[in-house]
Amino acid sequence: MTHDTSTDAADRRFAALPLRPGKIIAIHLSYASRADQRGRRPAAPSYFLKPSSSVAASGDSIERPAGTELLAFEAEVALVIGTDAYRVSVDDAWSHVGWVTASNDFGLYDLRANDRGSNVRSKGRDGYTPVGPELIDARTIEPNGLRVRAWVNGELAQEDTTARMIFPFAQLIADLAQHMTLERGDVILTGTPAGSSVVGPGDVVEVEVDAPGSPGAPTSGRLRTSVIQGDAGFDAVIGSLPAVDDVQRAEAWGSREAAGLAPETPETPGGLDAALRAKLERTPVAGLSQQLRKRGLNNVTIDGVRPLLPGTKVVGLARTLRFVPNREDLFASHGGGYNAQKRAFDAVGEGEVLIIEARGERGSGTLGDILAIRAHARGAAGIVTDGGVRDADAVAAVGIPVYSAGAHPAVLGRKHVPWDADLTVACGGTTVQPGDVIVGDADGVIVIPPAIADEVADAALEQEIEDGWIAAQVASGHPVDGLFPLTGEWKDRYLAWRAEK
């Protein structure tokens, strides 16, 4: 948005409203379609505030700041308060609405991490609340008879009606009026339906609210906003920098599929069938490696890691965490607070294995006893890091299997910045994706594509039986020629023995 502080420019921004609003209140989730898309349906409405300086007029442009990628649009019905409301009943609430119009609750998901829930920076930027272009008299329409639509570059992207809202308008107004006076001119953004997604420079978003069932089918007209690329970025010295992970990508685009991400890991404990887990717990990593090699998969071992506590085995589905090389300004913005490392340890689930990419850098710890305790309390099956472990004795005492490149007393900030989680990582020279099957024992840790895990486990167990029979023959004095691997007469003998068993 072009910044113009003149009175005329200010007046134009608020031209669609009766006056500059004292406050703009937005609801997080209110449409059933959006709640279903997000996989969570709230029991009661929740809100955040936007500054009136974020208001823009139809035809204005908004900037996507330099260094960001996830600018999302949200078509919404905007309610404009006509008469003050404080502690009003649900039955009386609608009478305090003067007008209805279209709005677009733009948000920059790159900035959500440190303001999660409040949306101060992600949705409070100049121009991020376009409103208008025309007001609909609230007395002429039924609150549950409105339709909201959005188009991106002329293609319909969102369409829903207020009849399918979880919380009707009257409830929102009465709820808010329990806590504050809604004053004439205040704007309530009532949430967006499914279909919100990401736009970039060059895109044009249009939003319209209408009442097709009311006399005259009143409409707000199309609220038009164009996206341009901004040149200015952010100063890490005075605030946190943009940070994106796959969770934010999925929420900004509307789904993991729309964001080009792999399907989410199943929510069952460890994501593994109990029978498969039992087989993998009996199967040595060496046998699994042999079977994967037979299927053309050679680069599936996490190299350079050893169990912190000998004799432990780990089996589970991968959750991932990535560290990038330390850079002081980035550690200042991403290393403190509720950073990616803490989020990953808080999110790892029962039976899952947290895989940490530390680039094989052993010169600092990537976890200590507190985080090991957290993962253990969450029911995680283990932790694998190609970096170091602090408080090694204390971590071993926790009881959770940990595989690492060794112990090191230094804290994270010496070598690493915690960057993002739940994405594809490189650990110990191999690629690991969330949902991959992880198995570790004294020989090391291996990564199995989940689609072939059952087949590989069965084949490895069968190979174990064969190897055991061969070992028995060698122990009784037979030479290995023809026995290892089985050929000719020895193979026939084995097959006959196996048929009997």
d(CA 190, CA 404): 49
- Per DSSP, the three-state class of 454 is helix
Instruction: Catalogue the E-assigned strands of 82-238.
Output: 97-104, 107-108, 129-130, 136-137, 147-152, 155-161, 187-189, 198-199, 204-210, 223-229
d(CA 86, CA 178): 7
What is the C-alpha radius of gyration for the chain, rounded to an integer number of angstroms? 29
Domain range annotation of the chain: 7-253, 269-454
Contact assessment for residue 250 and residue 419, using Cβ atoms and an 8 Å cutoff: no
What pLDDT does 5 receive? 42
d(CA 366, CA 357): 9
Token code pair at residue 371 = 């985080």
What distance separates the 2 farthest-apart alpha carbons in the chain? 100
Q: Any idea which of 95-104, 113-122, 137-146, 323-332 has the lowest mean pLDDT?
A: 113-122
What pLDDT does 264 receive? 58
What pLDDT does 270 receive? 44
Asked if omega into 133 is within 30° of 0 (cis), the reply is yes
What pLDDT does 221 receive? 95
The pLDDT of 55-83, averaged and rounded, is 94
Residues in the annotated binding site: 368-371, 390-391
d(CA 292, CA 448): 8
Contact assessment for residue 365 and residue 347, using Cβ atoms and an 8 Å cutoff: no
What pLDDT does 493 receive? 78
d(CA 366, CA 415): 9
d(CA 286, CA 156): 54
d(CA 49, CA 123): 9
Q: Any idea which of 377-381, 424-428, 468-472 has the lowest mean pLDDT?
A: 468-472
What pLDDT does 4 receive? 44
Q: Any idea which of 40-54, 398-412, 455-469 has the lowest mean pLDDT?
A: 455-469
What pLDDT does 242 receive? 78
**Closest residue by Cα to residue 355 from 306, 427, 285:** 427
What is the tens place of the pLDDT at every residue in 462-492?
Answer: 888 877 777 888 888 888 887 777 777 777 7
Residues in the annotated binding site for substrate: 368-371, 390
What pLDDT does 269 receive? 39
The pLDDT of 106-125, averaged and rounded, is 84
Asked if omega into 21 is within 30° of 0 (cis), the reply is no
d(CA 298, CA 300): 6
What pLDDT does 272 receive? 76
pLDDT bracket for residue 271 (50, 70, 90): low
Contact assessment for residue 22 and residue 186, using Cβ atoms and an 8 Å cutoff: yes
Whether 1 has a pLDDT exceeding 50, the answer reads no
The pLDDT of 348-357, averaged and rounded, is 92
How many residues belong to the chain?
A: 501
What is the tens place of the pLDDT at every residue in 297-328?
Answer: 999 999 999 999 888 899 999 999 999 999 98
What pLDDT does 116 receive? 64
Contact assessment for residue 396 and residue 467, using Cβ atoms and an 8 Å cutoff: no
Amino acid at the residue 403: Y
What pLDDT does 174 receive? 94
Token code pair at residue 196 = 């919100």
Please check whether the domain covering 7-253 is classified as CATH 3.40.50.2000: no
Whether 127 has a pLDDT exceeding 60, the answer reads yes
Q: What is the mean pLDDT of the chain?
A: 88
CB burial of residue 345 (10 Å; 0-12, 13-18, 19+): buried
What pLDDT does 2 receive? 39
Contact assessment for residue 383 and residue 357, using Cβ atoms and an 8 Å cutoff: no
Cα-to-chain-centroid distance, residue 157:
22
Residues in the annotated binding site for Mg(2+): 391
What pLDDT does 50 receive? 95
What is the tens place of the pLDDT at every residue in 138-165?
Answer: 999 999 999 999 999 999 999 999 999 9
The pLDDT of 369-397, averaged and rounded, is 92
d(CA 272, CA 316): 7
Give the Å distances, CA to CA, from 287 to 309, 338, 445, 461: 22, 40, 12, 8
Contact assessment for residue 99 and residue 83, using Cβ atoms and an 8 Å cutoff: no
Please check whether the domain covering 269-454 is classified as CATH 3.30.70.980: no
d(CA 349, CA 21): 45
pLDDT bracket for residue 105 (50, 70, 90): very high
Whether 6 has a pLDDT exceeding 50, the answer reads no
Q: Return phi, psi of residue 243, to 5°.
A: -145, 130
Whether 377 has a pLDDT exceeding 80, the answer reads yes
Task: For the chain, give the percent of residues with pLDDT over 70.
Answer: 94
Give the Å distances, CA to CA, from 500 to 226, 422, 483, 493: 75, 48, 19, 11
